[in-house]
Homo-oligomer: A and B are copies of this chain.
Amino acid sequence: MQPNEHLFPTDKIRGREAKEYLLKQKGIAVWMTGLSGSGKTTIAVALEKALAEKGILTQVLDGDNIRTGINSNLGFSATDRTENIRRIAEVARLFVHCGVVTICCFVSPTEKLRRTAKKIIGASDFVEVYIKTALAVCEERDVKGLYAKARKGEIKDFTGVDAVFETPLNPDLILVTRHLPVEESVDIILKKIFSK
């Protein structure tokens, strides 16, 4: 089966359509926003597994592979936070245009940051998922010990402690983790992205 020469010209860098045709899937970005410890990565892992079982290629972008890599020269000032999100969104856009389901797990605490990401990636390729977990729950989990450090003043401007998390104004999904097992959250996201 040869793709249509009109859709996939042979004298140009291969575009998104050709990649999606090859992969038999559509690229999209699932942007998960929420407090540290809210469950973004837990849901991302389960979402990736569910997608992999359908043979779908995914890429998770999170602090672990971004802050240690492309954004290793950025700190946590307001300017650097904006640049952090800008670069993440540009990387996500490249993956989406390569046909990959790209799952972004970042606190992204302000509406402005999330709007920046959405603008760069493109509204039609962007699913904003607000992982809603009470601060007290996140702080009690404190998997990485960050809340403890923030309370002691060892980390400054920590979202939820001494920096604000702005409730998303218009997310595509709100997942209230207290009421939803991870599997149900995943099902809801899957339904959303397959409807796109």
Contact = CB atoms under 8 A, between A and B. Distances in A.
Interface of A: 8, 10-14, 18-19, 22-23, 41, 44-45, 48-49, 52, 55, 57-62, 64-65, 69-70, 73, 83, 87, 90-91, 93-95, 98-100
Contacts of A59: 94, 98
One complex includes copies of this chain to the number of: 2
Contacts of A64: 13
23 contacts: A8-B52, A10-B45, A11-B45, A13-B48, A13-B60, A13-B62, A13-B64, A14-B48, A14-B52, A14-B58, A22-B55, A57-B98, A57-B99, A69-B90, A69-B93, A69-B94, A70-B87, A70-B90, A70-B94, A73-B83, A91-B94, A94-B95, A95-B98
Contact of A57 (B22, B48, B52, B62): B22
B10 A49 contact: yes
A5 to B, nearest CB: 11
B19 A57 contact: yes
B22 A52 contact: yes
B45 A12 contact: yes
Contacts of A45: 10-13
Contacts of A11: 45
Contact of A94 (B13, B23, B48, B65): B65
A95 B48 CA distance: 17
A38 B48 CA distance: 41
Contacts of A58: 14
A48 B91 CA distance: 20
